[in-house]
Amino acid sequence: MRKWLLLALFLFVLMGCKLELGQKEVTIKDVVITHSGGNSTVISFTIKNSNSSIADCYANISLGGKELHKDIGIIEAKSEKKEQIILSFKNKESQINLKPVCREIDESIAKECHTGGYTNRLMCRLVLGKPELQPCLNTNPLSYQLFCIALTSKNPGICNYIASDSRKNWCKAYITGNINLCEGITDEKKKDWCYTDLGMNFKNLTICDKITDLKSRTSCTAATTLNPKLCLEGTEEYKVMCITNIVESTGDKSICELLGERKEECSEVQ
């Protein structure tokens, strides 16, 4: 399936805690929690990197059951960095848990990927030296970049960096073929999208039958049964993908002609 077509639709306050995710001696210390005016909660702390290599970190904050992520950035080897996080939180009595998540990185890579948030830098490092992943950086928004990288590298773990739970599930489902991930999506329209993508990609009519929207189900059935004319009766947003899916399966590029003025989008299939 053409990835660009699919993209078109689409972490106990811990005092001195030691981290072992690629960093054996990264610690958070001197944690101070204060409450300013209104509902603001201020968390001040120092993060220390005792390793001889550079670390790139973010703070995983659990606040009354709500998880928030705050980018800390690059921490040089054998150095400390003071941080202050200001949050809007109503219940001042709720427990706040703070944990650093860091990755040890090479100095040359740190220089190349020093800008943007933690996820952006992580993706930059992942893409470096892998030409097949680099076109993914040309897509927007970030969730599309992450899906492209996850799909191209066949790594569903990348999907976890997508903020939207529905898109995260959809991403994992598409890569793994696990239909249960689609069933976990609460938004019915997005659930249909997930079923449609899986049904078309895996040529599975049983999955197509789970789609509630008639036109989307028609598109899924058309691609699964290799019926290009039926694609034209399906939903407009899946028309090009449906035809393209069949072209990729059969190798018959003449089918693109059914798209009329949009045939160029299909004829790019290699």
What residues contact 264, with CB distance under 8 A and at least 6 apart?
A: none
Closest by Cα among 46, 143, 113 to 85: 46
Closest by Cα among 103, 220, 119, 193 to 163: 119
Say if residue 100 is in the same domain as residue 197.
no
Strand blocks (E) in 114-264:
none
Say if residue 93 is in the same domain as residue 155.
no
8 found inside a domain: no
Closest by Cα among 261, 258, 241 to 249: 241
Position 226 confidence tier, pLDDT thresholds 50, 70, 90: very high
37 found inside a domain: yes
Say if residue 99 is in the same domain as residue 148.
no
Say if residue 169 is in the same domain as residue 269.
yes
Say if residue 55 is in the same domain as residue 154.
no
pLDDT for the residue numbered 27? 83
Q: Which of residues 143 and 209 earns the better pLDDT score? A: 209
pLDDT for the residue numbered 22? 44
Say if residue 257 is in the same domain as residue 212.
yes
pLDDT for the residue numbered 234? 92
Position 203 confidence tier, pLDDT thresholds 50, 70, 90: very high
4 found inside a domain: no
Q: In what order do the strands lie in the sheet with 96-105?
A: 66-75, 54-63, 96-105
1 found inside a domain: no
Three-class SS state of 16? coil
195 found inside a domain: yes
Most confident of 58-62, 111-115, 173-177, 207-211: 207-211
Q: Is the pLDDT of residue 199 over 90?
A: yes
**Dihedral angle sign, alpha carbons of residues 9, 203, 185, 187:** positive
Say if residue 60 is in the same domain as residue 123.
no
Under a CB-based contact definition with an 8 Å cutoff, are residues 145 and 137 in contact? yes
Say if residue 53 is in the same domain as residue 113.
no
Position 33 confidence tier, pLDDT thresholds 50, 70, 90: confident
11 found inside a domain: no
Say if residue 176 is in the same domain as residue 154.
no
Say if residue 121 is in the same domain as residue 133.
yes
pLDDT for the residue numbered 13? 29
Domain count, the chain: 3
CATH number, domain at 69? 2.60.40.10
Between helices 165-176 and 188-202, what is the axis angle to 10°? 10
Residue at which a domain ends, from 116, 139, 162: 162
The tokens for 222 are 């058309």
pLDDT for the residue numbered 126? 83
What is the residue whose two structure tokens read 């059914």? 258
**What residues make up the domain containing 23?**
17-105
12 found inside a domain: no
Most confident of 8-12, 137-141, 164-168, 264-268: 164-168
147 found inside a domain: yes
Among 61-65, 130-134, 209-213, the minimum mean pLDDT is found in 61-65
Residue at which a domain ends, from 105, 124, 153: 105
The tokens for 232 are 């034209």
Position 110 confidence tier, pLDDT thresholds 50, 70, 90: confident
Q: Which of residues 65 and 263 earns the better pLDDT score? A: 263
| Longest pairwise C-alpha distance within the chain | 67
The tokens for 143 are 């969730």
What residues contact 140, with CB distance under 8 A and at least 6 apart?
A: none
Say if residue 50 is in the same domain as residue 22.
yes
Q: Is the pLDDT of residue 10 over 60?
A: no
Say if residue 178 is in the same domain as residue 258.
yes
Position 64 confidence tier, pLDDT thresholds 50, 70, 90: low
pLDDT in tens, 227-237: 999 999 998 88
